[in-house]
Structure 1
Amino acid sequence: MTFSIKDHPFYIRMKQLPPQEIAAWVLGETPVEQAEPKLRKEAFRRVAKKITSGKAERSKYGFNSDTNGEIARAMEWAFQAGLKAGRVK
């Protein structure tokens, strides 16, 4: 019998989330490209923390983790947000 990660009681802590959703924990409804630099930095730190802590949780319980993919998606998102912020100013 195989188990899914979704069956784990801590699934919500291990779940991979899109960077925009994690940043919203800090920024609320404000898009990252319109946020103040201090809040933007805090949002990016929150994204990084979620990626690393999620990897630790998944590894701890024997589930696979695509940390490099998560980091790449977060970096692409941050890059696109930077481009949008540059166009706005």
Structure 2
Amino acid sequence: MRTFFKTLALSLACISPLSFASPVNINTASADQIAAALNGVGPAKAQAIVAYREQKGPFTSVEQLTEVKGIGSSTLEKNRDQIQLETAAASE
């Protein structure tokens, strides 16, 4: 039984806290909110997302994020489940 609990504790310790983050709407979130929610996206990349959105308008697809300097397909795939384009209320 102790082995089970040790294994469970180690398994839980390996789970990234980022996997519990709330999804972020990249069309409305601030740079700080984007940086906090997305893995591998710090303040500079988050600000680039906001600047892109302000210059070109709202994102129409998640894939469009790769047009932002510093956001590649790897970053997109790590965060795909955390990215929203609109609120749940707006999509109903």
Superposed pair shares fold, TM > 0.5: no
Relative to total residues, which structure has the larger strand share, 1 or 2?
A: 2
Choose 1 or 2 for highest CA Rg.
Answer: 2
Taking structure 1 as the reference length, what is the TM-score of the superposition?
0.31
User: Which one has the bigger helix percentage?
Assistant: 1
